[in-house]
Each structure stands twice: as C-alpha cells, then as structure tokens.
C-alpha cells in the first residue's frame, strides 16, 4: 500500500495512491496543461507555447518535497507549481515560458486539482459499492427464510429474518449512494476565475477559454467561479458522511452478531485476517472495526469542512486552505468503509441454526406480544397483559417455556385452544410482513419514486 504507516488504517491502496504527492502534483500540472491548450484553441496562447507547456507538465519532472516546501511558504500550491513549471518550460522554450498560468489564479489550480482527484475517486468508490450491493442482495435472497431474534435496545424481541436485516442494510446504502452520485455530479466542475473571479485578464474570451478548458479536463463548466462558495463540495462531503454512517450501522450489527455469546455471524477469515497477537482462537471482525473507525472519524471531518464554508468576499483566507487534507480524509475513510463492508458481506458466514437456537433460548418469552394480542381479542387488553406478564415471570423463574406456563391457565386454554398454543413459539408464524418488506427493499432504487432528480 502506498500510504504512510500512520494512515494505513484510514485508507485503501487505490485511494492512497490517488491522493499521493505524485498524483496530486500531476493533477495540478494537468490544470496548467489544459489551460494552455484551451487558450491556444481560442487564440490567446500560441499553439507552440501550449505544446511546450504540455510537454513539461509531467510529475516526474518535479520534486514533490521541494514543491511542498514552496506551498508552505506561499500559502497556496498555485504559486510554486507555476514557478517550477515556468522554469521547466523556459529551459526548453524561453518564448513559451511567459504563457504558463496565463490568466489563472492560484486557487484555480488548487480547486481544480482536487476536483480532478475526486473525479478519479468516484469510480473507485462506485466499484466497491457495486460489489457490496451485489453481495447484500445475494445474502438477503439466501436468507429470506432464516429466522433470528429481533433486538430492540439490545434486548431480545420478536423474530425477524436475516434476509430482511440484510435488505435493510442494502436499501440504506442505495439511498446514500443516490445522494452521493448527485453530489459528485454537482461537484465535478471546473474552477477558473482569475484574480477576482471575472476572468478580466482574458478580456472577452474568458468564457470561451473556460468552456474549452472544462472540455479538455472532462469537467462541467459553472455559470461563474465558486472560489468562496463551497456548497457543492460541502454536499459531497456530507453525502460521504451519511454513507459512512450507514456503513457503520451495518458494521455495528455484524460485530454484535459475531460476539462469542451470540455467534450468529462471522466475517471471512484467512490470510491472517482477524487474528490476534495473543489469542490464537480469536476471529476478530476486522472489516467491521475498520468501518466503525471510519464512521467515528468522518463526522468530525465533515464538521471541519462545514465550519470553513464561511469565507470572505470573492476569495477567502484560511477556509479553502484547510480543505485538502479534510476532503482527502473524508474520501479515503469513506472508501475504506465501503471496501471493508464489501469484503465482509461477500464472505459473511451466517449460522442459521444458532440464530434459531438463540430464539429458543429465550424460553418463548419473545412471543409474549403475540400471546397478549391473541388473548386481548378474547379477554380484553388489560386482562391479557396481566396474564401474559405473570406467565412470562414464571417462565423465567421456573425454566419453562412461555407456552407451557400459559397452557396451564384455564382461561388461556379456553380462549386460544390447543393449536394456537402449539404454534405460539413458531418463529415463522410471527413474521408479519417481513418478506413483503424485504422484497420492497430489494427493488428500491434509493428514492421512493425511483425517478432521477431534476437538475
């Protein structure tokens, strides 16, 4: 993994590579090359000069460490990148050097470079999301009839199916992915405004050059520069925060199901995954742990970005300068959570027998609601509640099932009959609309009307 050791639990290999010094440096150089080519196309810069700038704009031609020192001194990456590129072009073509960075400002470089990295990050996230969604769809179908305890406030409750639980995870992920797709679509736009955001240095050709540049880079072209308006990026960062929270909920569920005393599910093992340095028997839910760590980390990063949105006039001081590590941290953490849950879902081991055994271990008390509802129809709600409450207490104290205790109560036997008592603790007979809900969740496209958002 090309990540620093300190970041190794906060990113994936592909995303660490994407946000590496070399990759970011190349994105800034891509801006400068596209700027020159676009301006040559509209007759501002000589074509030969644009060609010379493009030839020099290769990351391997520059020292990233030296560039970083220049960024710290200048307070912006645009200054050292323009200076270094100008020197490189001048060495090969002195006449072309004066056209480097023509009409742009330093924030144009910084913002567009980050947008280019986000554009390249999107397919990485989408690829892992697709893998995760496919795995959850298959899990839900495979376990549509696998009954398990419902759990409310971490306490045993009437049964659900694991298929429904997996479908719930999937539907929430799809909803979050829809918001993320929209946010990416809005955010992937060029930043190009020059000194005060009017492109005055380019005269009447500013818009023409900007459109040509956006086309060169495969980005959208906004109505105006967005130097001090960070709402689009904020929406993307927030969408990542929501998605990471959704994945964290799934990770929390899996890690609880994997507890030794529950033992209903286990993450895939192998290749030293989930091992312990001191306890060879352990099988730790590492994918869930990494996802939960991301879900803990991202909200603070989202808040940091939002707090920097209050920027001054046409270009702010301190707000956008804080964004690079924040955005990178959000995308990398989100990507790690997606990839981790995709791995967990693809190889998740579900113990259907243990799930049923855990239902049976409650002695039928999780069916107290069912008994109360059946009796209420014949004896009245308050009488039914008192009878079932007392029966549940006796069941736990005497180590007998709820239906055994209820069967000894004459008025219960008369009201329900033998068959109703026999079926009282059959999980499959108290699932309500679980299967219908599961099917509806699986076909959901993320929005209730399943229609694309008007833009």
pLDDT in tens, 301-321: 999 999 999 999 999 998 888
Contact 178, 445 (CB under 8 A): yes
pLDDT at 455 over 80: no
Distance CA 9, CA 32 (A): 34
Using the structure block, give the residue that is written with the tokens 């070399």. Answer: 22
pLDDT for residue 5: 86
Instruction: Give the range among 143-147, 363-367, 389-393, 450-454 with minimum mean pLDDT.
Output: 450-454
pLDDT at 122 over 70: yes
Q: What is the band of 454 on the pLDDT scale with cuts at 50, 70, 90?
A: very low
187-209: average pLDDT: 96
- 1-104+203-217 belongs to which CATH class? mainly alpha
pLDDT for residue 303: 98
Distance CA 373, CA 353 (A): 28
pLDDT for residue 276: 46
pLDDT for residue 258: 97
Catalytic residue among 37, 175, 315, 438: 315
343-366: average pLDDT: 97
Using the structure block, give the residue that is written with the tokens 């312990």. Answer: 276
91-105: average pLDDT: 96
Which tokens hold the place of 46? Answer: 């000589």
Distance CA 423, CA 403 (A): 9
DSSP 159-203: EEEHHHHHHHHHHHHHHHHHHHHHHHHHH-B----TTTSS-GGGG
Fold of 111-189+226-361+433-455: Fumarase C; Chain A, domain 2 (1.20.200)
Beta strand 155-161 with 265-266: parallel, antiparallel or unpaired?
A: unpaired
Please give the DSSP secondary-structure letter assigned to residue 345.
H
pLDDT for residue 282: 55
The tally of CA atoms less than 13 A away on the side-chain side of residue 72 is 6
pLDDT at 68 over 80: yes
Instruction: Give the range among 90-94, 243-247, 280-284, 450-454 with minimum mean pLDDT.
Output: 450-454
Strands (E) across 208-361 are located at 265-266, 349-350
Q: What is the band of 4 on the pLDDT scale with cuts at 50, 70, 90?
A: confident
List beta partners, residue 222.
Answer: none
Which tokens hold the place of 391? Answer: 């029966």
315 belongs to the catalytic site? yes
pLDDT at 278 over 70: no
pLDDT at 3 over 80: no
pLDDT at 289 over 70: yes
Query: What are the distances in angstroms from CA 436 to CA 36, 286, 352?
Result: 58, 33, 21
pLDDT for residue 444: 80
**How many residues would you count in the chain?**
455
Higher-pLDDT residue of 455 and 442 is: 442
Distance CA 247, CA 333 (A): 11
Terminus-to-terminus CA distance in the chain, angstroms? 39
Contact 218, 299 (CB under 8 A): no
Distance CA 65, CA 411 (A): 84
Cβ atoms < 10 Å from Cβ of 248: 21
pLDDT in tens, 329-343: 999 999 999 999 999
pLDDT at 14 over 80: yes
Map out the domains of the chain as residue ranges.
Answer: 1-104+203-217, 111-189+226-361+433-455, 364-424
The tally of CA atoms less than 13 A away on the side-chain side of residue 319 is 19
pLDDT in tens, 359-400: 999 999 999 999 999 999 999 999 999 999 999 999 999 999
pLDDT at 277 over 50: no
94-118: average pLDDT: 97
Cα radius of gyration rounded to whole Å, the chain: 30
Distance CA 152, CA 206 (A): 60
106 belongs to the catalytic site? no
Q: What is the band of 7 on the pLDDT scale with cuts at 50, 70, 90?
A: confident
Strand (E) or helix (H) holding 29: helix 21-41
Long-range own/partner contacts, residues 258-262 (CB < 8 A, 24 or more apart): 258/283, 258/285, 258/288, 262/358
Distance CA 83, CA 81 (A): 5
Report the mean per-residue pLDDT for the chain.
93
Catalytic residue among 276, 307, 389, 450: 276
In three-state secondary structure terms, 151 is strand
Distance CA 25, CA 32 (A): 11
pLDDT at 452 over 50: no
Distance CA 54, CA 396 (A): 78
């Amino acid at each position: 993994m090309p990540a620093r050791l300190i970041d190794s639990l906060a990113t994936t290999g592909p995303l660490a590579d994407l946000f590496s010094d070399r990759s970011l440096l190349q994105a800034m150089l891509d801006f400068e090359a596209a700027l020159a080519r676009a301006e040559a196309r509209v007759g501002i810069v000589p074509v030969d000069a644009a060609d010379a700038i493009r030839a020099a704009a290769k990351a391997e031609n520059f020292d990233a460490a030296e560039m970083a020192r220049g960024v710290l001194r200048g307070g912006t990456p645009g200054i050292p990148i323009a200076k270094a590129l100008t020197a490189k072009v001048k060495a090969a073509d002195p006449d072309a050097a004066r056209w480097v960075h023509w009409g742009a400002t330093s924030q144009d470089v910084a913002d567009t470079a980050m947008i280019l990295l986000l554009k390249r990050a999107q397919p990485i996230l989408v690829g892992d999301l697709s893998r995760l969604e496919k795995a959850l769809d298959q899990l839900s179908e495979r376990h549509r009839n696998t009954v398990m305890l419902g759990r409310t406030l971490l306490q045993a409750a009437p049964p659900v199916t694991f298929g429904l639980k997996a479908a719930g995870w999937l539907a929430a992920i799809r909803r979050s992915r829809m918001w993320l797709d929209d946010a990416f679509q809005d955010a992937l736009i060029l930043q190009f405004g020059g000194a005060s955001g009017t492109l005055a240095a380019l005269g009447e050709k500013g818009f023409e050059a900007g459109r040509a540049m956006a086309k060169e880079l495969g980005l959208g072209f906004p109505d105006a520069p967005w130097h001090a308006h960070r709402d689009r990026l904020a929406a993307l960062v927030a969408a990542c925060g929501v998605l990471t929270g959704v994945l964290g909920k799934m990770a929390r569920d899996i890690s609880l199901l994997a507890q030794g005393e529950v033992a209903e599910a286990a993450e895939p093992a192998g290749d030293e995954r989930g091992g312990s340095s001191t306890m060879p028997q352990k099988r730790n839910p590492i994918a869930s742990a990494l996802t939960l760590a991301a879900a803990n980390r991202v909200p603070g990063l989202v808040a940091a970005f939002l707090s920097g949105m209050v920027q001054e006039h046409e270009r702010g001081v301190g707000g956008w300068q804080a964004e690079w590590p924040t955005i990178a941290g959000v995308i990398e953490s989100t990507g790690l959570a997606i990839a981790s849950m995709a791995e967990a879902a693809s190889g998740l081991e579900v113990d259907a027998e243990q799930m049923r055994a855990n239902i049976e271990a409650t002695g039928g008390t999780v069916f107290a609601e069912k008994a109360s509802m059946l009796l209420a129809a014949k004896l009245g709600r308050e009488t039914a509640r008192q009878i079932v409450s007392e029966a549940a207490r006796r069941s736990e104290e005497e180590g007998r099932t709820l239906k055994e205790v209820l069967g000894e109560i004459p008025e219960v036997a008369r009201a329900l009959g033998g068959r109703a008592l026999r079926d009282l603790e059959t999980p499959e007979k108290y699932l309500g609309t679980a299967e219908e809900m599961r099917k509806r969740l699986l076909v959901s496209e993320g929005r209730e009307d399943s229609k694309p958002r008007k833009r």
